[in-house]
Structure 1
Amino acid sequence: MAGLAGCATLPSSGPTGKQIEQSAAAPKDGSASIQLVQIHAMTDLPTPSTNVSPTDLLSRHADTPTDMVGPSDILDISIYEAGVTLFASSGIASQASQMSTPGVQVQKLPPTRVDDMGDITIPYVGSLHVAGLTTSGVETVIRKSLTRLSQNPQVIVTLSQTITNSIIIGGEVSRPGRLVLQTNKESLSDVIALAGGYRGSSKDLMARIMRGASSADVRINDIIEDPALDIRIHPGDRLMLVDDPRTYSILGASGRVEQVPFRRSSVSLAEAVATAGGTNPNLGDPAAIFLFRYVKNAKGQETPQVYHLNMMQTGSYFLAQKFVMQDKDVLYFGNAAANQPSKLVQLISQLFSPILTVTSAVSVIQNSNN
């Protein structure tokens, strides 16, 4: 009886189911009680978390044309003049710029960079503000500025290097760097493909989209299952592909204790229990399967919550198939209270086993001498 009274001090893989229920209802440290949900029916299962559309988290972005001009863009500017020309009389135009049509000359200006204020400088005109205009709009501004200086000038502007209509993509892609959007209708999966595709496993990759001061995360595997998450990418966005595998932890009296990565986008509790090797028949209690998780309340605050599943009941196996695991869940197999006396017997056996072995060896030696 004295030995049985000391069973509580024997080594254990963790608390029993009753101990977890008691500590959740009345924590010894005086903190608030933790909600414990008994899973008996489908209505007791937690609602699977729905993927929030990244567009709800990112700042609104107005549609922009593909040829919009902005700071740091490099422009190629060609000015055509007929008759007595401004640039020819000034010596700027070269012989190579002479066109076959008599009296018409073209002057191609050196590559012109749009400065940080959104301005460019044109000879004999000065500074012109062009940021936010399309290339055709820049042509109109330059042509009007030359009207009083040249006879019927015509201007052609093209984008040599595009910064405004581009994004930065990095992380787990084959070709990180600056990517120019050719249509301004490219989706998330489009730009990943244009960057050479992703590296690694899609189930472990998360795309982080940064737009101004806001950001949103999208898992690559979720895009495959829900095309609505394949949102449109806008100029100026920054995209980072991060290797961020989802995992859950297995603790307690299970067949194995470890951190397990998600093999697919969705893993059920039944699959997680099977991956853990089930309850250890020598230590665990199948009636004490617990899952620990943080959930968000109505105010958006994370609160701890515990779910209890009794695998000794037939219906629990069906419920476990509908219980969806989440990232960073902790699956705990409760320790069986009934195995404590057997532990005491094992401990006593381990203590006296060396003595019995020595006694047996001495007896054999004595018998052999006789």
Structure 2
Amino acid sequence: MASVSLLAGCALPRSGPSKREILKGDIQQGGNTHVVYVDDRIAREASFAPSYGFGAQFTGAGAVGADEIRPGDVLGLTVWENVDDGLLASMGQSNTNLQQLQVDSNGYIFVPYAGRVKAAGNTPDELRRVITQRLEQQTPDPQVSVTRVAGDGATVSVMGKVNGQGVFPIERPTRTLSAMLARAGGVSIDPEIAVVIVKRGTNTGRVWLKDLYANARNDIALRPGDVVLVEEDQRSFTALGALGGQTKVPLGSEAINALEAIAMVGGLSSNLADPTGVFVLRDEPMSVARKVLSKQVYGDQRMAYVLDLTRPNGLFVARDFMIRDGDTVYVTEAPYVQWQKTLGAITGAAGSANALENVAR
């Protein structure tokens, strides 16, 4: 009796809240969580999965013209003059080479006797015609050649899990995302878990590496200033309670259902688990919550989905219920487990009291 009184004043150890305690948190009972028993309809309505891909601001952008001159490019200029004593050429020479003419931040270069010339936005051939028109007013029949010495004016930064990080120019062979990744040496992680992120100004898009090569729409044209980042997939769920293991589990690139999630951590503990109390806890977006609850709600909703594996179709429903990033899979202990712990504590306390009595004697 003394042992029972002692246990009444303290809590027995356990892995977390009981099924009854979670159910008491239902909004209908004054709590702040929607407790929903999963059936075929709920599993179907909650099967929303945020998709990876690029929006119109990425897919609608055309390829950068490989010949277009941009600020930062370095140009080479050669001028031939049809006179012995030309404007630019030295005595006895017919041509003049002007190398390392860098296009300034405003897009201009300076050419003697032609002045400041707008180079950015033109191709080398278009710039050649502009300079020729400027010079032919001062020297008869000038011939001009324009070449791009270095095309670093349009660059893309590639970083993260690639074999060669760096800043690379957009050139004719590297105008698309897949080509630029190849230019950086490819990814340095398992392609199955590689996510490619492209940041362009305030917009960000991401795609699975395998989807990049499987769908040509994802192989977007790159623009100057783009940042390409390759990361390992960070999506995961947390497994807690009466399971074979309690840990944070990566989701990987494949869709995982509740049965697979349980199996990934060793399944239900046969000595502890309550198969009627398998919970999936998540914050559900408003659009999905409205479908699941069949009523108007506003903002993200805190949901506790209940999977009863003992129902006739319980295993099928669990197989159809998909796990998402950030989910918590929690399995409650069977009610008799607490009775076992209580009895064990009582008999253990009684045994300790007998031992003390024997020592006292």
Amino acid at match of 1:9: A
Amino acid at match of 1:19: E
In the alignment, is the contact (CA less than 8 A) between 2:62 and 2:221 conserved in 1? Answer: no
Change (3 A) 1:200 1:185: closer
In the alignment, is the contact (CA less than 8 A) between 2:192 and 2:210 conserved in 1? Answer: yes
| Structure 1 partner of 2:81 | 81
Distance 1:207 1:331 in 2: 28
| Structure 2 partner of 1:165 | 154
The answer as to 2:68 corresponding to 1:65 is: no
Please give the per-residue CA displacement for 1:77-124, whole angstroms capped at 9, x wherever unaligned: 11122234524xx5x4487xx5xxxxxx22210210001111100012
Secondary structure, counterpart of 1:350 in structure 2: helix
Q: How does 1:322-341 map to 2 (within 5 A)?
A: 322-341=320-339
Q: How does 1:277-288 map to 2 (within 5 A)?
A: 277-288=266-277
Change (3 A) 1:360 1:274: farther
Distance 1:196 1:185 in 2: 12
Instruction: For residue 142 of structure 1, report the CA deviation from its aligned partner.
Output: 0.9
Secondary structure, counterpart of 2:261 in structure 1: helix
Instruction: For residue 255 of structure 1, report the CA deviation from its aligned partner.
Output: 1.6
2:228 pairs with one of 219, 239, 248: 239
The answer as to 2:108 corresponding to 1:108 is: no
| Structure 2 partner of 1:256 | 245
In the alignment, is the contact (CA less than 8 A) between 1:284 and 1:336 conserved in 2? Answer: yes
Instruction: For residue 50 of structure 1, report the CA deviation from its aligned partner.
Output: 4.8
Distance 2:168 2:178 in 1: 13
Distance 1:315 1:228 in 2: 40
Amino acid at match of 2:23: E
Secondary structure, counterpart of 1:107 in structure 2: strand
Change (3 A) 1:349 1:86: farther
Distance 1:283 1:227 in 2: 50
The answer as to 2:311 corresponding to 1:313 is: yes
Instruction: For residue 74 of structure 1, report the CA deviation from its aligned partner.
Output: 0.5
In the alignment, is the contact (CA less than 8 A) between 1:85 and 1:150 conserved in 2? Answer: no
The answer as to 2:335 corresponding to 1:346 is: no
Distance 2:350 2:217 in 1: 68
The answer as to 2:100 corresponding to 1:145 is: no
In the alignment, is the contact (CA less than 8 A) between 2:43 and 2:321 conserved in 1? Answer: no
In the alignment, is the contact (CA less than 8 A) between 1:210 and 1:237 conserved in 2? Answer: yes
Change (3 A) 1:224 1:126: closer
Amino acid at match of 2:20: K
| Structure 2 partner of 1:367 | none
Instruction: For residue 339 of structure 1, report the CA deviation from its aligned partner.
Output: 2.0
The answer as to 2:194 corresponding to 1:205 is: yes
Instruction: For residue 359 of structure 1, report the CA deviation from its aligned partner.
Output: 8.1
Please give the per-residue CA displacement for 1:299-341, whole angstroms capped at 9, x wherever unaligned: 9953322221111124222222222222221111022223221
Greater shift in the superposed pair: 145-154 or 229-238:
229-238
The answer as to 2:9 corresponding to 1:20 is: no
Distance 2:16 2:63 in 1: 57
Change (3 A) 1:177 1:220: same
Q: How does 1:290-309 map to 2 (within 5 A)?
A: 290-298=279-287, 301-309=299-307
Change (3 A) 1:227 1:212: same
Secondary structure, counterpart of 1:61 in structure 2: coil
When the two structures are superposed, what TM-score results if normalisation uses the length of structure 2? 0.84
Amino acid at match of 2:76: D
Distance 1:221 1:359 in 2: 71
Instruction: For residue 249 of structure 1, report the CA deviation from its aligned partner.
Output: 0.5
Distance 2:200 2:85 in 1: 47
Aligned-pair RMSD on alpha carbons? 3.1
Distance 1:168 1:205 in 2: 18
Identical pairs, percent: 24
In the alignment, is the contact (CA less than 8 A) between 1:205 and 1:219 conserved in 2? Answer: yes
Distance 1:21 1:228 in 2: 46
| Structure 1 partner of 2:169 | 180
The answer as to 2:42 corresponding to 1:53 is: no
Change (3 A) 1:354 1:189: farther
Please give the per-residue CA displacement for 1:251-290, whole angstroms capped at 9, x wherever unaligned: 1121211111124432222111111222223322111111
When the two structures are superposed, what TM-score results if normalisation uses the length of structure 1? 0.83
Instruction: For residue 225 of structure 1, report the CA deviation from its aligned partner.
Output: 6.0
Distance 1:138 1:13 in 2: 74
Distance 1:224 1:314 in 2: 43
How many residues end up aligned between the 2 structures? 349
Instruction: For residue 39 of structure 1, report the CA deviation from its aligned partner.
Output: 1.3
Distance 2:337 2:246 in 1: 19
| Structure 1 partner of 2:43 | 44
Distance 2:9 2:338 in 1: 6
Secondary structure, counterpart of 2:268 in structure 1: coil
Distance 2:249 2:154 in 1: 42
Greater shift in the superposed pair: 11-20 or 166-175:
11-20
Amino acid at match of 1:275: M
Amino acid at match of 1:23: G
Instruction: For residue 197 of structure 1, report the CA deviation from its aligned partner.
Output: 0.7
Secondary structure, counterpart of 1:255 in structure 2: coil
